[in-house]
A and B are shown apart, each in its own frame.
Chain A
Amino acid sequence: MTCQEFNNLMFDYTEGHLPSKQSKAIEAHLQQCHKCKIAFSQYKDIIQKLHQLPNLKCPDTVVEKVFNSIPITDTKIPLSTKIYQSISRRLSWKIRFAMGVAVVIFCILVFYPGQEKIEYDQQIFTTEEIEKAKKDAELALGYFHYYVAKTEQVIENQVITNSLIKPITTIKKALKPSLNGG
């Protein structure tokens, strides 16, 4: 074993973390190398001296000052807050976030009404589709009344113009499914 290798292993050897084979190699090196032996002896002595430094007692005056600077009366905390604080102290923020998301999703699924659907003639239509159909029908009816009036005028005047023929044809085509009962 070289001195460099010994230096690298000194800490683990001191802590007793080395396998016996390596420990024996170190002991053999220390018997041969005077320099490493002294360095190791000083290293161990430092640790021993550090361990021997006293554990000091905190003066009572410090504790008294601490208690004098905090409020004497304990403000009452509501039970729900205590429960929440107790739970939140034990759960990590990730778990709390996931729980919050789960609650939101649950509320959406349970309480959100969604689109109202109406069944008509064994087909299900949304309210949107029904409203659109109503508007289309109103428009068609509007056109119908207009051209009925126009037709009456023609019959009265006995004049059919081109401007009348095309729209009538268009309306007839659009209303064909309804007229055929579709």
Chain B
Amino acid sequence: MKQKQFKKIVNKYKDIIYNQAFYFTRNKEDAEDITQEVFIKLWHHLNNIKLTSLKAWILKVTRNLCVDYSRRKKEHISISFNNNEQKSSILETLPDEHSSPEKKAINIDLKEHITRVINHLPEKIRTIVIMRDIQDLKYETIAETMELPLNSVKTYLHRGRKILSKNLSTYYKNDFLRE
């Protein structure tokens, strides 16, 4: 019975955990390890977790593991895709069908730069930006996971967006991106 319940939970949350871990660490292997570790911890604590708090628990553990991995690896600003092929396969699927090839290339480059700069954000702000603007999680969920008031979450998010906007201002000097 426990195994059946566990499998359901794994299938429901695996992508959320993997996404958060990947965008936080920007490393595929670390993201896989983190995802695996979260589920193993979940298996051992499944009987002690309240069902209503399961999602928050999972996100909290994911976030803590991401921070641990990040600190251990002492991340720097660098692209951590495995190879160029993988990089382009992920970003080329984004909706830019009507743009010119040139514009498309600039947009891909911009998005890559965004993911790089996200890595530069302070840990708390990084987590919130990923959870809200990439994963589209609700503010209440984020507040519960981060154990912060709702207004603090919004403040950190705004701060993160402003930092990204400031860091990427060079891209906006180019008229190609102004639509």
Contacts and interface: CB of A to CB of B under 8 A. Distances in A.
A56 to B, nearest CB: 5
Interface of B: 1-3, 6-7, 10-11, 14-15, 17-19, 22-23, 32, 35-36, 39-40, 43, 47-51, 90-91, 93-95, 107, 110-111, 114-115, 129, 133-136, 154, 157-158, 161-162, 164-165, 168-169, 172, 177-178
B40 A69 contact: yes
Chain A binding site: helix, strand, loop or mixed by DSSP? Answer: helix
B91 A46 contact: no
Interface residues of A, number: 35
A172 to B, nearest CB: 78
A51 B133 contact: yes
A23 B111 CA distance: 30
Interface of A: 10-11, 15, 38-39, 41-43, 45-47, 49-59, 61-63, 65-67, 69-70, 72, 74, 85, 89-90
A62 B14 contact: yes
Contacts of A65: 36
A56 B178 CA distance: 28
Contact of A70 (B40, B48, B161, B169): B40
Contact of B1 (A39, A62, A74): A74
B36 A66 contact: yes
Contact of A50 (B47, B129, B169): B129
